[in-house]
Amino acid sequence: MINRTLPYFLEDRTGLYTDSDYDDIYDRLFLRVDRPKPTESALTVYNTGRRSSSRRKSRPISTQRNLGIVLEFGTHGALGKVTFVDAGIHVPMGQYLKKTSMFGGSLSRKFRASDGQEYRWMYRNSSEHEWCCMDCNECIVAHYDLKPPDKPVFSMSGNILTVYEEYVGLAVEILASLIIMRHIEAQKL
Is pLDDT at 57 greater than 70 in this prediction?
Answer: no
pTM of the model: 0.87
Q: What string of DSSP letters covers 35-83?
A: -SSTT-SEEEEEE-SS---TTGGGSPPPTT-EEEEEEE--GGG---EEE
Is pLDDT at 110 greater than 60 in this prediction?
Answer: yes
> Would you state the pLDDT for residue 52?
64
Residue 143 binned pLDDT confidence (cut-offs 50, 70, 90) = very high
Residue 101: exposure state from Cβ atoms within 10 A (0-12, 13-18, ≥19): exposed
Is pLDDT at 21 greater than 70 in this prediction?
Answer: yes
Mean pLDDT, rounded, for 69-77: 93
Is pLDDT at 126 greater than 60 in this prediction?
Answer: yes
Contact 79, 94 (CB under 8 A): yes
> Would you state the pLDDT for residue 82?
97
Mean pLDDT, the chain, rounded, equals 86
Mean pLDDT, rounded, for 73-92: 94
> Would you state the pLDDT for residue 27?
92
